[in-house]
């Protein structure tokens, strides 16, 4: 099995308003997000790739156009835009375009990661 990953970055704000008011994440705040998409295939294509990294530029364009420097609660019309939520959303987005997608990881801080990987 071959596995490739590619990393993307964006900055955005969010607020988890359903949390208790004394929770730090209940306040408006932002993150420098890191997104890692993972693709797998048992066989390589005619060029020797799982998928050409250049094709993943479509994900970069989506992130830049829809997520970067935005307030994520407004983008998703949700009060619970967590790293887990973003991982699932980006997985679904990628899976529709790149059949080899197996997981998406999202980091809000250098020490924390959320991953969506269907079982």
Q: How far apart are CA 27 and CA 1, in angstroms?
A: 43
Catalytic residue among 69, 74, 79, 84: 69
Active site residue 108: yes
Catalytic residue among 14, 38, 89, 108: 108
Catalytic residue among 25, 66, 71, 115: 25
CB 119 within 8 A of CB 110: no
Residues 6+ apart with CB under 8 A from 112: 83
**Of 10, 19, 3, nearest to 86 (Cα)?**
10
Q: How far apart are CA 86 and CA 83, in angstroms?
A: 5
**DSSP secondary structure code for residue 71 in this structure:** B
Active site residue 25: yes
**Of 69, 63, 72, nearest to 17 (Cα)?**
72
- Which positions are catalytic? 25, 69, 108
């Amino acid at each position: 099995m071959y596995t490739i990953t590619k990393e993307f970055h964006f900055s955005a704000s969010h607020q988890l308003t359903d949390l208790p008011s004394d929770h730090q994440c209940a306040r408006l705040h932002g993150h420098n997000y890191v997104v890692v998409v993972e693709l797998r295939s048992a066989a390589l294509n005619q060029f020797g790739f799982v998928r050409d990294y250049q094709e993943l530029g479509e994900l970069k364009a989506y992130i830049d156009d829809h997520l970067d420097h935005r307030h994520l609660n407004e983008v998703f019309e949700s009060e619970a835009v967590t790293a887990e939520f973003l991982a699932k959303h980006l997985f679904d987005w990628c899976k529709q375009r790149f059949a080899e997608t197996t997981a998406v990881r999202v980091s809000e801080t250098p020490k924390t990661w959320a991953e969506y990987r269907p079982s």
